[in-house]
Amino acid sequence: MPPSLTQFGTQMSKLTGVRAIMKDIIDTLGTTQGQSFINLSAGNPVILEPIAQLWRDCTADLLSSPDYSEVVCRYGTSQGYQPLIEAIIQEFNQRYNLHLNARQILITPGSQALYFLAANAFGGYTTEEKLKKVVLPLSPDYTGYGGVSLTPASLLAYKPRIDLQDRKHRFKYRPDFDQLCFDSQTGCVIFSRPCNPTGNVLTDAEVRQIVNLAQPLNIPVFIDSAYGPPFPGLNYTEYQPVFAPNVIHCMSLSKAGLPGERVGIAIGDQAIIQALEAFQTNVCIHSGRYGQAIATRAIKSGALAQLSTTVIRPYYQAKLNILETALEQYFPDNIPWFLHVGEGAIFGWLWFQNLPISDWDLYQKLKAAGVLVVPGSPFFPGLQQDWQHIHECIRISLTATDAEIEEGIKTIAAILPKVYSSKESAKDR
């Protein structure tokens, strides 16, 4: 008998966005016998040996240290493991010339949990029954934001401007400041920089403009730096994180080789951090301390920041080059395909202008041809307008091997002319 769930229960027990597609992909991989697939859909980072070795070394150090039993055999504070908090303060104060104190840091069990806390502490109904919005200033963005709110009506995303680049077949999304509007109904703002799925890095000026629009209204801006510097440093364009009184700088160690340990980091205003910390205490008491203890060692020694720029970044940047070369070589020039400029993260984002079928149908066709990608539409959570562009994109993961990326692109290239010459457009929309 199915369990009798509440409104929240029903909503939170549904798979949203890419998680639903991942289930289809896992089912496909598990049930299709005799057919092999090129998997360009994976979001799981590649295990890079020097990074895995760093975590092994930090674990060995923890195991042999007198701290071990204190770390794993006792509860800690909800805010996080104090030596990790100190290591982060030292790293950020030194690197970015800040004056952070310990009350400005919160460690969460992964950064997804942090966005859950943020979206529900600042978005949803107020005690006066007013709906506060969680604003995503530039859609598409991380699909996970679509599932974090207990009040889905609070999510509001803005359609971007599309900048075609001088380089043929390249484009970049930009926030549309003519539309973007914050007011007393805005609870908080969230965006990823670098962006999953597009690889976009909002410019410093764009970020400052968003932050400055929010500041007079006392609206917190959560800048999701899951791919940003100093770790994992998956930015291919140089930039500095933006710090301001209303900015909560959010980080994750997942793309720095530690997704299994669930370590998220929030840095920002003390009062906001305190509210999130209390929320976290109610939800899960605190983040696991083993991951926090090995992270302390990796950050304090400088090894994590260093390996981010010498190992993690070059690895994915080389994959991006493989993807770009394959696209130039195999994709038909006469088809209006566009790659989002690759400024960071671990994905390539492709837009097929005037695609005659939906992104979901394209996904199915590619699947039938043995290539798994992620259809783009789940990356537009909170966008309330109907917009054909939503159904014209796919995400390609840079976690595949060079040969798989090349072979996958070759297969997609062979299918595109057939898709564009098809007459399916009307019925698929």
Ligand X SMILES: Cc1ncc(COP(=O)(O)O)c(C=O)c1O
Provide DSSP, 349-409.
EEEETT-SS-HHHHHHHHHHTTEE-EESGGG-TTB-S--GGGGSEEEEETTS-HHHHHHHH
User: Is 149 near ligand X (CB under 6 A)?
Assistant: no
Closest approach of ligand X to the CB of residue 112, in Å = 3
User: Is 112 near ligand X (CB under 6 A)?
Assistant: yes
Those residues whose C-beta lies under 8 Å from the C-beta of residue 394, and which sit 6 or more positions away, are: 349, 350, 352, 359, 362, 363, 366, 373, 374, 375, 376
Using the rule CB under 6 A, which residue among 17, 124, 140, 144 binds ligand X?
A: 144
Closest approach of ligand X to the CB of residue 44, in Å = 9
Dist CA 266 CA 317 (whole Å): 27
Closest approach of ligand X to the CB of residue 233, in Å = 15
Specify the residue, 117 or 226, whose C-beta has the smaller distance to ligand X.
226
User: Is 397 near ligand X (CB under 6 A)?
Assistant: no
Dist CA 96 CA 251 (whole Å): 15
Closest approach of ligand X to the CB of residue 120, in Å = 16
Specify the residue, 251 or 419, whose C-beta has the smaller distance to ligand X.
251
x/- letters, 284..313, toward ligand X (CB under 6 A): ------------------------------
User: Is 192 near ligand X (CB under 6 A)?
Assistant: yes
> Could you tell me how many residues make up the chain?
429
Rg (the chain; Cα; Å)? 22
Dist CA 18 CA 408 (whole Å): 20
User: Is 252 near ligand X (CB under 6 A)?
Assistant: yes
Tally Cβ neighbours within 10 Å of residue 49: 10
Give the tokens for residue 20. Answer: 């639903």
User: Is 254 near ligand X (CB under 6 A)?
Assistant: yes
User: Is 120 near ligand X (CB under 6 A)?
Assistant: no
Specify the residue, 315 or 331, whose C-beta has the smaller distance to ligand X.
315
Specify the residue, 264 or 356, whose C-beta has the smaller distance to ligand X.
264
User: Is 186 near ligand X (CB under 6 A)?
Assistant: no
Using the rule CB under 6 A, which residue among 187, 228, 264, 342 binds ligand X?
A: 264
x/- letters, 46..75, toward ligand X (CB under 6 A): ------------------------------
Instruction: Determine the distance from the C-alpha atom of residue 371 to the mean position of all C-alpha atoms in its chain, rounded to a whole number.
Output: 23
User: Is 226 near ligand X (CB under 6 A)?
Assistant: yes
Dist CA 413 CA 406 (whole Å): 10
Tally Cβ neighbours within 10 Å of residue 69: 9
Instruction: Assess contact for 126 and 287: CB atoms under 8 A.
Output: no
Strands (E) in 32-157, as ranges, are: 38-39, 105-108, 124-125, 131-136, 155-157
Using the rule CB under 6 A, which residue among 17, 43, 137, 348 binds ligand X?
A: 43
Binding segment for ligand X among 110-118, 132-140, 330-338, 403-411 (CB under 6 A)? 110-118
User: Is 152 near ligand X (CB under 6 A)?
Assistant: no
Specify the residue, 374 or 419, whose C-beta has the smaller distance to ligand X.
374
Specify the residue, 267 or 416, whose C-beta has the smaller distance to ligand X.
267
Closest approach of ligand X to the CB of residue 168, in Å = 28
Closest approach of ligand X to the CB of residue 322, in Å = 21
Closest approach of ligand X to the CB of residue 123, in Å = 17
The residue behind tokens 């066709």 is: 365
Using the rule CB under 6 A, which residue among 80, 110, 123, 268 binds ligand X?
A: 110
Query: Helix, strand or coil for residue 45?
Result: coil
User: Is 379 near ligand X (CB under 6 A)?
Assistant: no
What's at 90, amino acid-wise?
Q
Closest approach of ligand X to the CB of residue 335, in Å = 29
Backbone angles phi, psi at 159, to 5 degrees: -65, 140
Query: Helix, strand or coil for residue 277?
Result: helix
Dist CA 81 CA 292 (whole Å): 6
Positions touching ligand X (CB under 6 A) are: 43, 110-112, 142, 144, 192, 196, 224, 226, 252, 254, 259, 264
